[in-house]
């Protein structure tokens, strides 16, 4: 497995590189956003680890470029910034996971293995089209429509909505959503899931009479018509 580590702090970069090489990974490194952009686009990697604060081009812009060129590659973002808004911005740029510095190397390794396992797994569900009520999601073209109206979603909003559409008519806890959509467990004080629920409601519910995303106080959310 070939991993690209993008980190301008040479000491941190070398620590990550050494640790991952000891686990059997092949590691390439880059120290600024522009260099990383060229390397990531021109070469094949199984996973990318990128700091957000980088010289020449920040990690958010870098993530968008990589995601446009190679939409399937897993990306883990590293940063000292840990607010809900920071996490939302990283996920909206296309990141698959998010680790706040300082972090335990074992946690990074666990996240890497989880993403690689997910990327290698065959699709769980056949077919390219999900339908519920008047909402349609094309998994191949990534187009979502409700009542014939096309709805523009960020990558994480799309993944979240896909999870809801695959699990209609049952209560989904925040812990389950965190685990299945973000494949991680976040501290209970983080309200980013509620932020994303509000994003989706504005896009797929506000302009329609029948609401699909409902809150179950103290339990979570349920995707159903009515």
Per-residue pLDDT of the chain (226 residues; tens, 9 = 90+): 899 999 999 999 999 999 999 999 999 999 999 999 999 988 889 999 999 989 999 988 999 999 888 888 999 988 877 666 777 777 888 888 888 888 899 999 999 998 888 766 544 545 688 998 899 999 988 999 998 899 999 888 999 999 999 999 899 988 888 888 877 665 544 588 888 999 999 999 998 889 999 999 888 999 998 7
Fold held by 129-223: Arc Repressor Mutant, subunit A (1.10.10)
Asked whether this chain's domains 2-120 and 129-223 adopt the same fold, the reply is no
Residue 19 tokens, joined: 């640790």
CA dist., res. 1 & res. 49, Å (int): 13
3 state SS of 5: strand
Q: CB count, 10 Å around CB of 148?
A: 7
CA dist., res. 28 & res. 25, Å (int): 10
- The CATH number for 2-120, chosen from 3.40.50.2300, 3.30.70.20, 3.90.420.10, 3.40.50.970, is 3.40.50.2300
- Peptide bond preceding 102 in cis form (omega within 30 of 0): yes
Give pLDDT tens digits for 177-223. 888 887 766 554 458 888 899 999 999 999 888 999 999 988 899 99
Give pLDDT tens digits for 198-208. 999 999 999 88
Q: What angle do CA 211, 215, 218 make, to 5 degrees?
A: 170
pTM greater than the 0.85 cutoff: no
Q: CB count, 10 Å around CB of 183?
A: 15
CA dist., res. 190 & res. 188, Å (int): 5
CA dist., res. 44 & res. 39, Å (int): 9
Annotated domain spans of the chain:
2-120, 129-223
- Crossing angle of the two packed helices 84-92 and 59-69, in degrees rounded to 10: 30
């Amino acid at each position: 497995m070939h991993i690209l580590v993008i980190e301008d702090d040479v000491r941190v970069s070398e620590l990550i590189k050494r640790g991952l090489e000891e686990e059997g990974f092949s590691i390439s490194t880059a120290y600024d956003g522009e260099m990383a952009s060229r390397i990531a686009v021109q070469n094949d990697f199984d996973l990318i680890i990128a700091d957000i604060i980088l010289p020449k081009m920040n990690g958010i812009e870098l993530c968008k470029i990589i995601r446009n060129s190679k939409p399937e590659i897993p990306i883990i973002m590293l940063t000292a910034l840990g607010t809900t808004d920071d996490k939302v911005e990283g996920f909206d740029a296309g990141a698959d996971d998010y680790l706040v510095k300082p972090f335990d190397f074992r946690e990074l390794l666990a996240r890497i293995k989880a993403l690689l396992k997910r990327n290698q797994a065959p699709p769980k569900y056949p077919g390219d089209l999900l339908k519920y009520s008047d909402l349609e999601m094309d998994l191949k073209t990534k187009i979502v429509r409700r009542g014939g109206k096309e709805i523009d979603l960020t990558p994480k909003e799309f993944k979240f909505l896909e999870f809801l559409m695959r699990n209609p008519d049952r209560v989904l806890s925040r812990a389950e959503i965190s685990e299945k959509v973000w494949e991680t467990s976040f501290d209970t004080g983080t309200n980013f899931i509620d932020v994303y629920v509000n994003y989706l409601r504005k896009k797929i519910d506000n302009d329609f009479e029948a609401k699909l995303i409902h809150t179950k106080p103290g339990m979570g959310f349920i995707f159903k018509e009515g």
